[in-house]
Amino acid sequence: MTPKYRYLLIYGDGGHANALREIIGHHTITICGDEWKTSRHLSDKIVIGVGLVREHPKRTVLFNGMKEKGYSFPNVIHKSAQIEDSAKLGVGVQVFANAVISSNVVIGDNCIINSGAIISHDCVLGDNVHAAPGGVLGGDVVIGRDTLLGIGCTILPGIKICKNSFIRIGENVIANI
Amino acid sequence: MTPKYRYLLIYGDGGHANALREIIGHHTITICGDEWKTSRHLSDKIVIGVGLVREHPKRTVLFNGMKEKGYSFPNVIHKSAQIEDSAKLGVGVQVFANAVISSNVVIGDNCIINSGAIISHDCVLGDNVHAAPGGVLGGDVVIGRDTLLGIGCTILPGIKICKNSFIRIGENVIANI
Amino acid sequence: MTPKYRYLLIYGDGGHANALREIIGHHTITICGDEWKTSRHLSDKIVIGVGLVREHPKRTVLFNGMKEKGYSFPNVIHKSAQIEDSAKLGVGVQVFANAVISSNVVIGDNCIINSGAIISHDCVLGDNVHAAPGGVLGGDVVIGRDTLLGIGCTILPGIKICKNSFIRIGENVIANI
């Protein structure tokens, strides 16, 4: 369950931001463009509602800039997501419907685990990783920071993927990258 | 949750029809063949229990004929399906276990969203679309009517697929069709 | 829900065994190597916590040996798994988060239905089958014993796969094997 925040800012007004609004389930304050630079008096809690693949680097830049300004980043977690107690999540993590985060997984800051994505036991995801809908990671996978895992991709157990990687839609990863 | 109907007809006696019966969870009246043409005195509510890919055109023909006869088409929704409040569903829609229908999605009449299929935010599905188990649509995808999305297929965000299309099992769609 | 057992043995101390421990949710006794041959005085209930693909034959050998020693094999089922009432499960079956087992499915002994795997209506799985995370079986599929279904594989409705088969990660099976 997502904790209830008063005065929660959401950056962005596209489909990803709207999906987050619906998960949060109460009124939020929408900001766009450079407004976050001057909106900290409205709230110090912010959710980055930018999800598209082509906007991925933007998420990292925004997170770093907002962190410097003193914002904090609540996690937004769909009520149907399955997250084991032993999993450790960073800040600003977004977990969508029916996603699975299994035992002893570590998820970095500012990650998106999108609808139905499966992160098996003992995986480690760096900061700013976006696991798109329906991707499946076997156990003990390590994903470097700022990496995009495309829709429905699959990754063999034990694989390591370096930072700034881009796994394509439906790609089956069977060797380290 | 599926609303409770007395005197609900189910057309078909194969595996798909049985799966629907189990979701509905109470007694129903099974009809086959051309019986629907003369069974309206038993009930005016009917569920089309034909799911196989090769029977897909049959679903559309049945729906149109039954509609003309004055039947109405209750939605059948598995208790574990995740459907956001902002999503709009037509009539005669069947949503199976662990399927996800995200925010602002529009689903036409007589569609099947099968087990574990994921329909991301802002997708629009025309009438009589069958999303087979485990398929994953990115955000803002548009699917034309009478289209079959095969098991485990993936579709990039923003893609448009025209009516009467057939996406194969495991196919990754990265351009408009 | 997993029934509560006192004195439940778990064989193995890797990631798969830990994931099972977390599903079971109370203290268990860990044994490794050949300890099961002499541990029956501790408990007669045992869970085989070996999941890796390369260790698959080991699961069958262990199960047969333990059965001969008189152990029984409780099923371990994640609270989010969707299993229809009409499905029949053998003993020693492990079902992980958000897995789907649809109507009239038959699952043999010592099977693993891993996270998010979908077993559609009327499928029959022999003993010792491991359906890895995110795999999707259409309806009426028959899987022979000791078979591995790789991560994210897809199988057309009605397909038959013979015993001791190995379906690769992301493989799309469209003909009998």
- Along the 177 residues of chain A, how does pLDDT read in single tens digits? 444 456 799 999 999 999 999 999 877 899 999 999 998 888 999 999 987 655 568 899 999 999 999 999 999 999 999 999 999 999 999 999 999 999 999 999 999 999 999 999 999 999 999 999 999 999 999 999 999 999 999 999 999 999 999 999 999 999 999
Of C18, C78, C115, the CB nearest to A104: C18
Given a cut of 80, whether residue C114 has pLDDT beyond it is yes
Least confident residue range of B115-119, C36-40, C93-97, C112-116:
C36-40
Least confident residue range of A5-9, A17-21, B27-31, C43-47:
A5-9
Tell me the pLDDT band of C18, cut-offs 50, 70 and 90.
Answer: very high
Given a cut of 70, whether residue C54 has pLDDT beyond it is no
Which pLDDT score, from 0 to 100, does residue A173 have?
A: 95
Of A103, A120, A152, the CB nearest to C133: A120
- Chain B hits for C84, Cβ within 8 Å: 19, 22
Query: Cα dist. B169→A2, B131, B163, B173 in Å?
Result: 36, 11, 18, 11
Mind telling me how many Å the CA of C18 is from chain B's nearest CA? 25
Lateral strand order in the sheet of B154-155: B82-83, B100-101, B118-119, B136-137, B154-155, B172-173
Mean pLDDT of all residues in C27-40: 90
Mind telling me how many Å the CA of B76 is from chain C's nearest CA? 15
**Which chains have 3 or more CB–CB distances shorter than 8 Å to chain B?**
A, C
**Which one has a higher pLDDT value, C155 or A58?**
C155
Residue B25 sits at the chain C interface (C-beta within 8 Å): no
Residues 6 or more apart from A78 whose CB is under 8 A from it? A23, A95, A96, A97, A98, A99, A115, B82
Residues 6 or more apart from C130 whose CB is under 8 A from it? C51, C53, C56, C59, C111, C112, C114, C147, C148, C149
Helix (H, G, I), strand (E, B) or coil at C130: strand
- pTM of the predicted structure, to 2 decimals: 0.94
pLDDT tens-digit series, residues C125-135: 999 999 999 99
**Which one has a higher pLDDT value, C156 or B40?**
C156
Mind telling me how many Å the CA of B135 is from chain A's nearest CA? 8
Tell me if C102 sits within 8 A of B78, measured CB to CB.
no
pLDDT tens-digit series, residues B93-139: 999 999 999 999 999 999 999 999 999 999 999 999 999 999 999 99
pLDDT tens-digit series, residues B48-88: 998 765 556 889 999 999 999 999 999 999 999 999 999 99
Of A98, A102, A138, the CB nearest to C151: A138
Find the closest chain C residue to A169 by CA distance.
C170
- Chain A hits for C114, Cβ within 8 Å: 120
Find the closest chain A residue to C21 by CA distance.
A103
CB pairs under 8 A between A and B: 80
The residue written with tokens 């956001």 in the block is B84
B138/A116 CB distance under 8 A: no
Which pLDDT score, from 0 to 100, does residue C52 have?
A: 63
Could you give the CA distance from residue A140 to residue B120 in angstroms, rounded to a whole number? 28
Could you give the CA distance from residue B160 to residue B145 in angstroms, rounded to a whole number? 12
Residue C154 sits at the chain B interface (C-beta within 8 Å): yes
B120/A133 CB distance under 8 A: yes
Which pLDDT score, from 0 to 100, does residue A41 have?
A: 86
Given a cut of 60, whether residue B45 has pLDDT beyond it is yes
Which pLDDT score, from 0 to 100, does residue C1 have?
A: 41
Which pLDDT score, from 0 to 100, does residue A55 have?
A: 57
Residue B168 sits at the chain A interface (C-beta within 8 Å): no
CB atoms under 10 Å from CB of C154, counted, come to 29
Tell me the pLDDT band of C2, cut-offs 50, 70 and 90.
Answer: very low
DSSP state of A72: B
Which pLDDT score, from 0 to 100, does residue A68 have?
A: 95
Mean pLDDT of all residues in C128-147: 96
Given a cut of 70, whether residue B148 has pLDDT beyond it is yes
Name the token pair of A27.
Answer: 């009124």
Mind telling me how many Å the CA of C134 is from chain A's nearest CA? 6
Which pLDDT score, from 0 to 100, does residue B88 have?
A: 98
Find the closest chain C residue to A86 by CA distance.
C22
Test the A interface: residue of B79, B95, B96, B100 with most A CBs within 10 Å: B100
- Residues 36-95 of chain A whose Cβ lies under 8 A from any Cβ of chain B: 51-53, 78, 80
Mind telling me how many Å the CA of B82 is from chain A's nearest CA? 7
Which pLDDT score, from 0 to 100, does residue A53 have?
A: 56
